[in-house]
């Protein structure tokens, strides 16, 4: 799976160590080895801070039930006390800008916007790709943006593999936090 995702060799090794530790600590009974291996690869990806999502992993795994993978992943993180940093929405920005053929100006403005979003803490507990897509939407539609790029919520949703509703909700969160309306 790690090779199919073109992950660095270090991440292959980390996933193998996680699987071995799970086996050594007798965490496999009641779970398929394929499910544990998939969750271990996902944990290695998350530990490395790589911008891979669960969708890409389910395409190369024999386990296509995301809920089962997430459940096993959380179990491994808890039982093996793995240090996994929260995903950073900025990690997904380059891929989205590339897919939508957006300018460097838009990317820079969005990076600054995401910095403010993270400082405000509104990204916490939210899907990082959804936050990145919503920030791009703000960047392409806000009057302060130096760019003339434009894209629709639908285009962003398709590129980010999230729903239009997710983008709309995160858009409102970002607008309310970063560009509050001035009361007259």
What is the pTM (predicted TM-score) of this model?
Answer: 0.69
**How far apart are alpha carbons 179 and 134 in whole angstroms?**
14
Domains of the chain: 9-79 (1.10.472.10), 89-178 (1.10.472.10)
**How far apart are alpha carbons 78 and 73 in whole angstroms?**
9
CA atoms within 13 A on the CB side of 128: 19
pLDDT band at 79 (very low <50, low <70, confident <90, very high): very high
Question: 6 exposed, middle or buried (CB, 10 Å; 0-12, 13-18, 19+)?
Answer: exposed
Mean pLDDT of the 105-131 span: 86
Residue 145 has pLDDT above 70, yes or no: no
């Amino acid at each position: 799976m790690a090779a199919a995702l073109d992950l660095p060799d270090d991440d292959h090794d980390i996933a193998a160590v996680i699987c071995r530790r799970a086996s050594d600590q007798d965490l496999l009974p009641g779970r398929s080895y394929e499910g544990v291996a998939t969750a271990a690869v996902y944990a290695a990806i998350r530990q490395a801070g790589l911008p891979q999502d669960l969708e890409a992993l389910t395409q190369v795994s024999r386990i296509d039930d995301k809920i089962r993978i997430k459940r096993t992943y959380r179990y491994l993180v808890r039982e093996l006390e793995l240090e996994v940093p929260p995903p950073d929405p900025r990690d997904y920005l380059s891929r989205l800008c590339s897919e939508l053929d957006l300018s460097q100006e838009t990317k820079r403005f969005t990076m600054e916007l995401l910095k403010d979003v993270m400082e405000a803490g509104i990204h916490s507990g939210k899907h990082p790709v959804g936050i990145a897509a919503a920030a791009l939407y703000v960047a392409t539609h806000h009057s302060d943006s130096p760019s003339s790029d434009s894209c629709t919520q639908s285009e962003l949703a398709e590129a980010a593999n999230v729903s239009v509703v997710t983008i709309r909700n995160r858009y409102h969160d970002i607008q309310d936090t970063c560009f509050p309306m001035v009361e007259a």
